[in-house]
Each structure stands twice: as structure tokens, then as C-alpha cells.
Structure 1
Amino acid sequence: MNHDQSIIFAILTVTLALFAWGRWRYDIVALTAMTAVLLFGLVTPNEAFAGFGHTAVITVAAVLIISQALKNAGVVDVVASYLLPHTGNAIIHIALLTALVTFFSAFMNNVGALALLLPVAIATAKEHGRSPAMVLMPLAFGSILGGMSTMIGTPPNIIIANYRADITGTAFSMFDFSPIGSVIAVIGVTFITLIGWRLIPKKRFEENQPEKLFEVSSYLTEAKVMPESPLIGLAVNEVEDLQINDIGIVGVARGHYFALNTNPNYKLKENDILILRGDPLTLQSKFADSHLEFQTATGKTFNNLTEGDLALTECVITATSPLVGRDVSYLRRRTANSVAVIGLAQEGSVVRKRLRNNTFQAGDVLLLQYQKGLINDMLTGLNLLPLAERGIQIGQHRRVLIALAIFIGAIILGAINILPMAGAFILAILVYSIMGFLPGKDVYRDVDWPIIILLGGMIPVGRALESTGATELVASSIVSITEGLPIYMVLTLILVTTMFLSDIINNAATALVMAPISVGIANQLGVNIDPFLMAVAIGASCAFLTPIGHQSNTLVMGPGGYQFGDYWRMGLPLEIIITLISVPLILIVWPL
């Protein structure tokens, strides 16, 4: 091992550790790795920044924008409107939702497809008296399975397709992934529908009925300041400082006046109505001598406050939300005190302590009180996913058909090599914009910029692995260790290793790291590189063991009330099934 190889291995080790640690955002980790390989002279400045103009990066961004156009056209809504009325039976309910998200994830961003169907899944579960936990994990897993079926279904497939072009001069085409990916998707959905959902802990079904995620009366309480109360004349922050950390004053009502986020210096007056956050029993014991008249949050006063300009909504914090890693004070500043955090659920449990002491995480569910008319802009600006039923909005079928025709036309242009796929998608985006499917202000709204930065930052790291000979060194070591084993065993090792990495770090980063290693192994063995690249593509998309391996898993964690350890119960047998069926399929479709 030479000096440059030692450096790149050290950089890669630290990078993977930071990805797994999760305290730094993955785009920051990627930029740090890119800067490191540049500083140590492992790549030139041009090579360091060339990743941001790489075809794979452009294609991923274009797919995200096209997904927004298809969503705006109402494509998913139209199909869902025909299928979802038939969800009376639990198995049919799970099957339809999972199959629907699987299908759409093959042709649009899988996280976007999940986001569209998440409110519908919760609403239909509530309608039939089922726990969201029964349908949301199958929905998330279905979105991941669907992405394997086409080149544009998931970033790892796009990365692998374009990496093949870098090596051989020809990329994998749009449907080269379909013979294997579609079979995996069908078998995976069948397993999830018949067996998989039954492996979710039963207590999740009991604890997380749709109406029980946030029971406002259980932790939001009203109290009227009586004439003899010693709190009269005290500022809000003085009252809070007298109490323990799990009590907070959310707002103060006085006559027709109501402050969502009360000025901490506001002095309490007789007959003020305090909106208190905390367990009612704790509140009453702590304020026992304060001469407050307690009511539940479902009392008359609270209802009067919310009937006019105020409303409540539940929403999920997405992985790209600026709230991740921030606290309530940041939300207050960001929304100019127009939104109050009434409740927070993390990993399915309602947080009943002082919310200002909590840091928001991706997958958290927020209960927000807001001024009507501001919610849409607020949710968009903060990348929050509302859990309220959107309703199936059936647009004009002609509009849906036009949107589909544009998309199919772009695929055909790319498939017959009139335009490269990235160019065909950019053309489709231009047409969508001209025809009004993509308003100018929304064109870049759904681009997952951290993923774009991740790809642009990690591509030069992959090149440094190759240019220093590190990939050949790793490949030689693996070939030496597996000497005498049949090729299918080596292929299985690549697949399982990629699966493992994808469960703990970002799947796109996994593909970027494993692609050159797999090609190196194939070259050392003197066999076709395609089966090994396909193994990496499949493995990178199989993040079923943890909620952190894929954004889809993270998004359903809060609404489903899942715990970290719930995912492997259905995910592990699913990954075993995928391994058993994919290796033979790869060798049949892509012979050595």
C-alpha cells in the first residue's frame, strides 16, 4: 500500500464513519471528503468539481423536477381514486397501497411517491379503524422496491448506469434494470402483503390508532387566572421559571385577544386564560396554590380560539427540512411567531416535556397551531409533509394524459438515442414549464439539494479511489480471500456488503463507493462487469433494516409510531428473499 492509497483509505474510513454517525448532514460529509481529496492532491481542482456537472447528477435533479410535474398534473390522484375505495379488507388495503406506491416509484422519485400517498394511507386507515402502523411501513418498503425497476427509479440506479458509461462508453438503458427489479418488486410486494406486515410488533397497532397519535387534551390544558391568583403581575417567563421543565405556557387569551407565542415579558392579568402544555395532573399539582381554574383543551374557550383564524395540523419533518437539528426557537424566528408547536412525537411517542429542550429530527411529527391562510407557504418553506388527508383531487383526465405523454416521449427519445436521457428529461421539463405543469417558482422546489451535493461531492472521492489504485487493491484482496469460491458466491458477497452499507449510510454514497470496487473485482476475475454493477444497484436500494437507511423509512417512523428496532423484523426476511432471488436472476439476465 503506497502513501496515496493510505490517505484515500483514511479519508474513506472517516467519511463512512461520519455517514453512519449521522450527526453531520450527509451533504456536509460529502463536501468534507471532496475537500480532503483535493487538499491531499489526490484529484485536480477540475476533477474535484466536475462531479457537479456529471450526467448522473443532472439526471437525478431532472427526475426530481419531473416528479413534481407529474404530481401537479394529478397522475397519482387519478389512479388512486379508482383503487382506494376497495380497501375494506386489511390485506387488500395493504396490497393496493403497496402496489400503487411501488408502481409510481418506478417512474418518479420514490420519496415523492411516498409523500403523495402517505396522507391517503393514514386517512383510509382511519376510515376503516386501522392503525397507521399496519400500512405505513409496507408503504415505505414498497416505494423502495419500486425504485429498483427502472434507471430513474432511484439515485443508485442512475449512478450505476452512468458509471457503466464511464467505463464502457455505454450506459445502462432505462429498462435494463426491469427484468430483475420488477421481479424483485412483485415478489417483495407479495411478501409484504401476505406475511411482512404481520411481523410488525402488534403493540404498534394497539398504541398508534390514528386518533391517538396526538390527543390534544392529554397534554394541552387551559387555566383561567382567578382574581386571588399570586401569578397576577408576574411575567410569563417568571411563571415558567417557577415550574419544572415539563410545563410551558403556549399562549394567553384575554377577551378577543390571543397570542400564539406569548411575549415572555407579558405580565399576567386577572381572567387571563393560559394555554398550558404538559400533563394535566402535573400541571394541577405544580399550580395547586396558584388559584387557577383548569379546563381541558377541548373546553369551550379553546374551541372558540380555533374556530376563527386558528387551526391545528399534523406534519412530518422531512430529511431535507431546515428544522432538522434545530429547536422551537428557530421555528418561531423562521415563521415570525405565526406558528406554535403544540406537540411533538419522536419515534412514535408524544414528547411531554418542555419542547424548547428538544432538537427536531427527520421523521418527527409536529402538532402545529397556525393562522389560517399561512399553512401552505409555511409547509412548503419548511419542507414539512402534512398528514391531513389531501383528498383525491381528480383533475382533468386530458391534463393527466398530456403529462404522461410528455414523460413517455422523453423516455422514448432517450431510449432510441436521439438525446441522452438527461437531455431528454431536461427537454420534458421545459415543455412542462411552458404548458403550466411547473410554475416558475416551483421548478426547483422539490429538488433534493443535499442529495445533489452528496453526489457531486462523492464522485471525486470515487475517482480518487480509482486513480490511486485503491480499488484494485481492495479488489485483489477480495479475490484472494474468495479464491476457489464460485462466482455466484463472490457476487453474493458484493450484494450483501452493499446492502449492509446502505442500511447505515446513504444509498447513493454506497453506490458511489461500491461501484468501482465491484468493477475491480470483475476485472480481476476476468468476467463481465455488468452482473457486479447490477448487484451493487440492487444492494444499494435494499435499505430495509433501519429507519436511517432511506428517507422513506424515516418519513413513516413518526406517523406509524415505529421504534428503531421495528424495521428489521420485516426488513431482514425481505433482504434475505431479495438476495436469494436476485443472484440467480442477475446471472441469467447478465451472464458472465
Structure 2
Amino acid sequence: MTTEQWLVVAVLAGVVALLMWGRWRYDVVAFGALIVAVAVGAVPSERAFDGFGHPATIIVALVLVISRGLTNAGVVQLITRYVIDAGRGLSAHIGIMASVGAGLSAVMNNVAALAVLMPVDLQASEQAKRAPGLTLMPLSFATLLGGLVTLIGTPPNIIIANFRQEVTGEPFGMFDFTPVGLAISLVGVAFIALAGWRLMPEGRQGRETRKETFALDDYIAEVRVPDGAEIIGKRVRELDEVVEKTGVAVLGLFRDKRRMPGMARRAVISAGDTLVVEGGPGDIDTFTAQLGLSYVEGEKHKEHLKSNDLGFIEVVAPEGARIVGRSASGMRLLTRQGVVLLGVSRQGRRFVKQVRRLDIQPGDILLLYGPVERLPAVAEWLGVLRLAGGEARPVRPQQARLATSIFLAAIVLASLELLPLPIALGGACVGFVASGIVPLRELYESIEWPVIVLLASLLPIGAALESSGATALLAEQIVVMSVGLSAAWILLVLMVVTIMLSSVMNNTATAVIAAPLAIDIAGRLNVNADAFLMGVAVAASASFLTPIAHKNNTLIMGPGGYRFGDYWRLGLPLELIVLAVGLPMILMVWPL
């Protein structure tokens, strides 16, 4: 290998290792790798930021805006209103929810599809008195399957299409992915609905309601002792009578940012102390009112909660949310937004830190307290998903029809090749903004910037991998090691390797790494590169084995009460279905 090849491979290996480690967010890793690659000469400085103007990056950003528009207009709510019925049997409910989720994911971002369907599924679970853990994972996996159906269904498809354009001068079209993706989705959704949900862990099946899964009685909250409170001078154990009546457990006491030993049963309460309690929102509220306590961090902040119309909102923090990796105190949530982080639920775990200083993790369920009219906006600002409280926006059928018409017009224009896809989608975004479907203040908030930075940073590294000859060298090694195998078997090996990568790192990054490798392998075998590119597209989106494989998997972890090892139970059979259905379909539609 030449020095340039060694440098590119080393940078890429570092990216893979850091993404698998998961300590730093993927966009930071990718952008840092780009800077390193430029510094060592692996990527020409004049090409460093080409990825930010790459068609794939632009299309991904536009699809995210369109997803927000379809959601804002109430298109999804109208669909779910007519097809979701909590009175159906479990298998039928899963089948319908999975079908709707897959269908929506074919035309909008799959994270957005899950975000609008998850509250519906949680409400249905509560009404039917069944564990949401039985239905959330099937719904999440169905949205991933649906993304395989069209070009805009998932970022890996967009990346693969643009790699094909660089090689052949012609990208994959909007529905070129449909024959293979639709076959996999149909079989996968049927399996999930008929048998797959039965593979969920017994512990999830035994829970009866949503309340028992991420239990409202499992919130860890903190309340402050203001000056003049009646309990000043009492010991914590003297609160037992109120504790018993309200159902709240006192877990400890903080004084001057220091936790008192044990559960501080003998500690004498002073003004300014913070009690750490466990309970449901209503119980905590009753406990706080009876003892004259406060939710705020200090008297100097009391003006932020003057409204008489105060309430709670439950939200879940997805990966990439503004608050993930940060604390409410560090974000100055109260002073900036007038809202208190009252409680955090993390699969029953208790914390040694005060709630407001706790770094939030993906999948955490947060209990926010503040003025009712501000809570939805604050949830949106934090990048979290509402779990309860109804629809954030009223459904307006006329606006929904307008949004659908604009979107379909863009798809038709792009499919008939009357306009390039980025231009058609860009026109739809302009239409959404001009009609007020996506307000200007939400335009840039709609775009998932970490994914954009990840993609834009890795594309120049992927180009350097190819231009340096490193991709050709890796492809040669794979072909040599697979000597004696047919091209179809080598394609299967490539798909398995891609699936393994997508299980531990972002599927966008997986597609960027695997696509040039697929092209080189096909070239060495002198077979149709389209088949190998389709194999990578399918495998990169088959992210079912772990909660870190895809944001949707992380998003359901807390509300579903899942553990890390739960995902493979349903995920592994789905991976096998993807291979068993996908490979023959690829060979049939895109013969070698």
C-alpha cells in the first residue's frame, strides 16, 4: 500500500472505531476525521467541503423539511385517525401499525414516521391495557423496512443513487428501489405481525400497561425547601406520614450541592435543601403542595413560573436531541425557557446526581413542568418527542390536502424526469414555506444537522478512499479471499459485512464506506455493479440488532422498557429475512 492509501485507511478505521465506541457524537467524529484527513494530505484541501454541496446531502436535508411539512399539515394524523383502533387484537394492531409505519417511511424520513406514530401506539397500548414493549419494537423495525421502498425513504438509498451517478452518469430513480424494497417490506411486516412480536422477552409481555413500563411512579424528581417552609427544623424521617399519604418516596437530601449520607433519614431539614423524591407527577405535586415546597432552583427564579396555568408534559429524548449529553442546569432550561425538568425516568435506575444536573441520555423519559402554552414549544426546542398530551397541532384537512398535492407533484415531476430530484423537492419545500405549512422559524429546525454534517464530512473521505486506490485494494483482497465463490455468494458476503457495520454505526456512514467497495468488487468480477449497490443499500438500512444501530431503535428503548440485549430477538430473524428475500430479488431485478 502507498502512503496515501495507508493514511486514508487509517483515518477511516479511526472513524469506524470511534463510531463503534460511541463516546462522541457521530457528526463530531466525522467532521474531526475530515479535518485530520485534510491535515495529513489524504483529502485535498480544495475538496474538503465538497460534501456540503453534494446532491446526496442536499436531498437528505430537503426530505427532512418535507417530513416536517407532512407532519405539520396533519397528513399523518388523518391517516392514523382512520386506520388505528385500540380495540383490535394484538396481531391485527401490530400488522396495521407496522403497515402504516412502513408506508409512511417510504415517502418521509423514518425517524419522523416513528415520531408521529409512537404516541398513537402508546395510547392504544394504554387503552388496551397491554405492555407497549410488545408493539413499539415491531413499529420501529417496520419504519426501517419501509425506508427501503423508495429513493427518499432512507439516506443510504440517496447515497447509493448518487454513487451510481458518479460511475454510470445515471442515478437510481425514485422507484428503482421499489421491487426489492417492497418485497422485503411485505415479508418483513407480515413476519412481524404474525409471529415476530411473540419473540419479545417474557418480561415485556408480563407488563399490563404503559404506566408499568416506563412507570409514572418511577420518576426521580427534586423539590426545594424555601425559606419559611413548615418542615424546616424537622428530620427527614418525620415526613413519613405525608410520604405514606401521597405515595412519594424520599430518596435523599442535597445541601450545598452535596448529597447527605444514605437516605438522610436523620438529617435536619434546612432552608435551601433539596429533597430527592420518587413518585408520579400527581403524587409529587401533592407532596410538594402539602409541605410548601418548590420545583424551582431558587427564589430568584420564581418569576419564571408565575403562570396559574401550569402543567406537565412527558417526553422522550432521541439520539441527537439538543438536551442529550447535557443537563437542564447546564442548558439553563428554567431561565431561558421558563420550564423545569421535574423528573427523569431511565428504566428504573436511580441517580446519585440531582436531576437538574444529570446528563440526559438517549431514551431517557423526561417530565417537564411549566406553563401549559409553552411546553410544546420547549419540547420542540429540546428536540424531544412528546409521549402524551394529544396532538401538538390541530388537524386541518384543507392544509393536509394542499401538502399532499405539493408533495405528490414533486414526486411526479422527478419520476417523469421533468425536473431533477433536488429541484423538485426544493420546489416542494418552497411551497410548504410559502403556504405556511412549514413556518420560517421551523425551516432550519426541521433539518437534522448532525446527519448532514456526518454525510458531508464522510463523502470527501469516501472519495479519497476511491481516488487513492485503497478501495480497489480492499476489493481485490475480498475477491481473493472469496476465490471459488460465485459472484452471487460474494454479494451475500458483502451484504453480511454491511449489516454488521450498520449494527454498530450510523447507516449513513455505512453506506458511504461500503458503496465504493461494492463498485470495485463488481468491476473486478466483471458483473453488473447495480446489483452490488442495491445489496449495500438494503444491508445498510437493516439496522435491527442493537439500540445504537438506528435512532428509531434508541427512541423506543425507554418507553418500551427494552434492554440492550432485547433487540436481537426480533432483529436477528428480520436480518435473515432481509438476506433471504433481498438477495434473490436483487438477482432477479438486477441480474449479474
TM-score, normalized by length of structure 1? 0.88
**Matching of residues 230-241 of structure 1 within 5 Å:** 238=255, 241=258
Shift of 1:4: 1.0
- 1:243 corresponds to 2:247: no
Shift of 1:217: 8.1
- Residue 473 of structure 1: aligned partner: 473
The secondary structure found in structure 1 opposite 2:432 is: helix
- Residue 277 of structure 2: aligned partner: 278
- Residue 263 of structure 1: aligned partner: none
Q: 1:434 to 1:245 in 2, by over 3 A?
A: farther
The total of aligned residue pairs comes to: 553
CA distance in 2 between partners of 1:573 and 1:326 (Å): 36
Q: 1:296 to 1:391 in 2, by over 3 A?
A: closer
- 1:162 corresponds to 2:162: yes
CA distance in 1 between partners of 2:318 and 2:264 (Å): 27
Shift of 1:394: 6.8
- Residue 289 of structure 2: aligned partner: 301
- Residue 535 of structure 2: aligned partner: 535
- 1:138 corresponds to 2:138: yes
- 1:53 corresponds to 2:41: no
Residues 349 and 561 in structure 1, CA contact (< 8 A), matched pair in contact too: no
**Matching of residues 420-499 of structure 1 within 5 Å:** 420-499=420-499
Shift of 1:353: 4.0
- Residue 344 of structure 1: aligned partner: 344
Residues 81 and 394 in structure 1, CA contact (< 8 A), matched pair in contact too: no
- Residue 229 of structure 1: aligned partner: 234
CA distance in 1 between partners of 2:222 and 2:360 (Å): 23
Shift of 1:520: 0.4
Q: 1:217 to 1:133 in 2, by over 3 A?
A: closer
Shift of 1:431: 1.4
- Residue 520 of structure 2: aligned partner: 520
**Matching of residues 144-293 of structure 1 within 5 Å:** 144-207=144-207, 209-212=209-212, 213-216=214-217, 225-226=230-231, 229=234, 238=255, 241=258, 243-244=260-261, 267=271, 276-278=275-277
Deviations 1:161-213 (A, max 9, x none): 01100111000000000000011111111111111111111212335731232
Unaligned regions of 5+ residues in structure 2, if any?
A: 237-252, 296-306
- 1:322 corresponds to 2:322: yes
RMSD between superposed Cα atoms in Å: 2.7
- Residue 576 of structure 1: aligned partner: 576
The secondary structure found in structure 2 opposite 1:148 is: coil
Specify the code of the residue in structure 2 equivalent to 1:349.
Answer: G
The secondary structure found in structure 1 opposite 2:321 is: coil
Q: 1:394 to 1:86 in 2, by over 3 A?
A: farther
- Residue 360 of structure 2: aligned partner: 360
Deviations 1:416-475 (A, max 9, x none): 222110111001111121122111111121100000000100000101101110000001
Q: 1:93 to 1:298 in 2, by over 3 A?
A: farther
- 1:107 corresponds to 2:107: yes
Residues 60 and 158 in structure 1, CA contact (< 8 A), matched pair in contact too: yes
CA distance in 1 between partners of 2:587 and 2:288 (Å): 68
Residues 312 and 372 in structure 2, CA contact (< 8 A), matched pair in contact too: no
Q: 1:247 to 1:324 in 2, by over 3 A?
A: farther
Q: 1:335 to 1:197 in 2, by over 3 A?
A: farther
CA distance in 1 between partners of 2:142 and 2:435 (Å): 32
CA distance in 2 between partners of 1:86 and 1:386 (Å): 19
Unaligned regions of 5+ residues in structure 1, if any?
A: 253-265, 269-273, 281-294
CA distance in 2 between partners of 1:44 and 1:565 (Å): 43
The secondary structure found in structure 1 opposite 2:153 is: coil
Residues 247 and 353 in structure 1, CA contact (< 8 A), matched pair in contact too: no
TM-score, normalized by length of structure 2? 0.88
Specify the code of the residue in structure 2 equivalent to 1:376.
Answer: P
The secondary structure found in structure 2 opposite 1:504 is: coil
Identity rate of aligned residues, in percent?
39
- Residue 407 of structure 2: aligned partner: 407
Q: 1:308 to 1:198 in 2, by over 3 A?
A: farther
CA distance in 1 between partners of 2:379 and 2:526 (Å): 53
Shift of 1:320: 2.0
**Matching of residues 11-50 of structure 1 within 5 Å:** 11-50=11-50
Of stretches 48-57 and 2-11 in structure 1, the one that deviates more from structure 2 is 2-11
Of stretches 319-328 and 65-74 in structure 1, the one that deviates more from structure 2 is 319-328
- Residue 286 of structure 1: aligned partner: none
Of stretches 307-316 and 56-65 in structure 1, the one that deviates more from structure 2 is 307-316
Specify the code of the residue in structure 1 equivalent to 2:547.
Answer: P
Q: 1:219 to 1:95 in 2, by over 3 A?
A: same
Shift of 1:343: 2.4
CA distance in 2 between partners of 1:143 and 1:554 (Å): 13
Q: 1:178 to 1:389 in 2, by over 3 A?
A: farther
Shift of 1:366: 1.1
Specify the code of the residue in structure 2 equivalent to 1:351.
Answer: R
Q: 1:93 to 1:247 in 2, by over 3 A?
A: farther
CA distance in 2 between partners of 1:309 and 1:96 (Å): 38
Residues 162 and 172 in structure 2, CA contact (< 8 A), matched pair in contact too: yes
Specify the code of the residue in structure 1 equivalent to 2:460.
Answer: P
Q: 1:334 to 1:511 in 2, by over 3 A?
A: farther
Specify the code of the residue in structure 2 equivalent to 1:442.
Answer: E
